[in-house]
Every structure is written in structure tokens, then in C-alpha cells.
Structure 1
């Protein structure tokens, strides 16, 4: 039975899921923007979202078990990220560069990291790996260019985005390893 032009009754759940996921993403983005406004760092949070979201979508990593936990953790980490950006804008050290290089290497080597909530087929793994590497290279180029041009706010935000994503990947790898050690699944060894 057709619901409306082009929509099948069988596809109703798929469309509802898509709308629900879109609403959750929109809520997370709006909350991040509100946190940015509250901390007087709207520009920083906008740049962060532009840099981080494409990496996160393709790289995967740790995912919370519930939407509520995800929302709370995202809100909390947004505050931490913005405070980290604020701190790093007042500093310049070789440690920032070294942490970026290490984080870049972690993402390059391990992304994408699947999760029980977000499993990946082998074909998806290959496609996402190529995409995350392209985004990572693009962001690295932008970070280098903006640093040398004196737009340190952009390079700092990119640095924090990449470092945070590497932590999320390592958490995902750890979670997967613990999960596989706790249950007997052949798929864990893939």
C-alpha cells in the first residue's frame, strides 16, 4: 500500500528512523551552538562542527549505548573542547604540533573504527577509510595554511578536532576489544 506519491508502507519505518536521527543530530548541533554562545565562542564552535562532523561521520569510534548518554557526553565534551581551544589560543608549543602528528597517525592507521551500534561492512570500511583520509588531509592543509597566514583560531580548532577524534577512535578500539573478550563472537576477530 502506498502512503503518498512514491512512498511505500514498507519503507515507513526507514523514513521515520531517518527523521528521528536527523532530529537528534539537529538537537546536538543546536546544543553545541548554544554552548558556544554561552562561552562567547560561537565562531570557534562553528569551525569545530564544520571540521569535526565530517571526520566523525566517516571515522567512527566510540558510540554511547543510548541517545541520552550520547547527548550528555556530547554536551559535556563540547564544553571541554571549547575550553581547550581557548587555552591553546593563548599558548604555542611544540607539544601541540607533536600531539597533532600523533593524532593524525592514529586516525590514518585505524579509521574507520566500527562499533556494535554502528557496524561496518567490508565495502563500507574501504569507502569510509578513503573519505576520512581525504578529509584529514584537507583539514591538515587548511590548518597549515591558516597557521602560516596568522589565522590561528582555525588551525587551533582543527588541531583540537583531530586530537579529540583520535581519542574517540582509541576509546572505540578499547571498547571493541573488551566487548570481544567478554563474548564469544567470530566476528570480533575480523
Structure 2
């Protein structure tokens, strides 16, 4: 399907033939991302946690982009990891409902401290130079601040707090696993 679309774009002279592989790769990534997000939202709907899931996706995308952490080596591994994270996040939403608000903010603060201490994190496929480390650290800090302020502003809308907390909790795990896996490479 992707090849057909790219061929049509070349035939229409929208893209150059020399760029076909790049566009095929980009479209494949876009389709995979769309499928991942759709799958997560559908699970959120099925589990009656759509608002939590949406807040999680937004918060996680913001923090994951710059903080880094563990990345699967293959596309299949990434998909399986996404499934695992999704199911774990739904479990966390229900678990967070059992914790008093003060406890949730303590977990949130603990995650923030760990994320700030470990981010940004390189991977074997994506080493960072000194400038990138500085920029990504600042962007991670800004993202955490913005998301924390949103949690405080929407104190009585727990779905946002649960979604952000889940994103930070999972990002904390990803950073810890990433640090361990880089140590043993």
C-alpha cells in the first residue's frame, strides 16, 4: 500500500524518484504510530479509561521525546513493548484510584526526581552530542514543569492526574531499564 502511494506521488511529480525510499520509510512509521495510538485509545475506551488514556498519551509523548529511555531493537519488539505498556497503564489507572491524592503527588514528585536525574538518555542507535544533552535536558525539565502545572490546575479532574502520573511512572521505568541495558552492552 505504501509503495503504491509513493509511486503515485512520483508519477504526479510531487516527490522525486530518488526520495522514494525515504518517503516509504516515513509513511510506514506514520502508519505504525497511528496504529499504536489507535490501539491504545481503543483499549482506553474498552476499559472505560478514555480520558486517562488520552492524558497519558499526550503526557508520555511530550516527556518520552526528550527524556529517552529503553527502546526495543526491532519493530516487533516495539509493538510488544507498546502492548505491555498499554496494559500496564490501564492497571495503573485503577491502582491510582485507590491512592489518596497526597500519595499520588508523592509518587509524581519521586518520578520527576528520577526522570530529571536520568534524562536525557542516549541509546545505542541514537547517541547524543554535548549540545543535544543540554537541549534535551532543558526540554525535559520544561515538559515536566508544564505537565506538573496542568496536574495542579486540574486537581479535581483526576483522569488528567492519573494519565500524567502513569506517563511519568512508565517513563521512569523506561529510563531505569535503559540505563541497565546500556550498562550491559
Q: Deviations over 1:80-123 (max 9, x none)?
A: 11121122123216543332222101111221111123333333
**Partner Cα separation in structure 2 for residue 28 and residue 98 of structure 1:** 30
How many residue pairs end up in the alignment? 176
- TM-score of the superposed pair, with normalisation by structure 1: 0.83
Q: Is the 8 Å Cα contact of residues 52 and 161 (structure 1) preserved in structure 2?
A: yes
Helix, strand or coil: the match of 1:7?
coil
The answer to whether residue 158 in structure 2 is matched with residue 152 in structure 1 is: yes
Quote the residue 1:28 is aligned against: 36
Residues 126, 19 of structure 1: CA spacing in aligned structure 2 closer, same or farther, 3 A cutoff? farther
Q: Is the 8 Å Cα contact of residues 63 and 117 (structure 1) preserved in structure 2?
A: no
**Partner Cα separation in structure 2 for residue 123 and residue 21 of structure 1:** 27
The runs of 4+ residues in structure 1 deviating greater than 4 Å are 3-6
The answer to whether residue 39 in structure 2 is matched with residue 65 in structure 1 is: no
Q: How far 1:44 moved relative to its partner? A: 1.4
Q: RMSD of the alignment, in Å?
A: 2.0
**Partner Cα separation in structure 2 for residue 33 and residue 154 of structure 1:** 15
**Greater relative contact order (Cα 8 A, min sep 6): structure 1 or 2?**
2
Q: Is the 8 Å Cα contact of residues 63 and 172 (structure 1) preserved in structure 2?
A: yes
Q: 5+ unaligned residues in a row in structure 2: which ranges? A: 1-9
Residues 10, 30 of structure 1: CA spacing in aligned structure 2 closer, same or farther, 3 A cutoff? same
Q: Is the 8 Å Cα contact of residues 103 and 163 (structure 1) preserved in structure 2?
A: yes
Choose from 9, 16, 20 the match for 2:24.
16
Q: 5+ unaligned residues in a row in structure 1: which ranges? A: 180-190
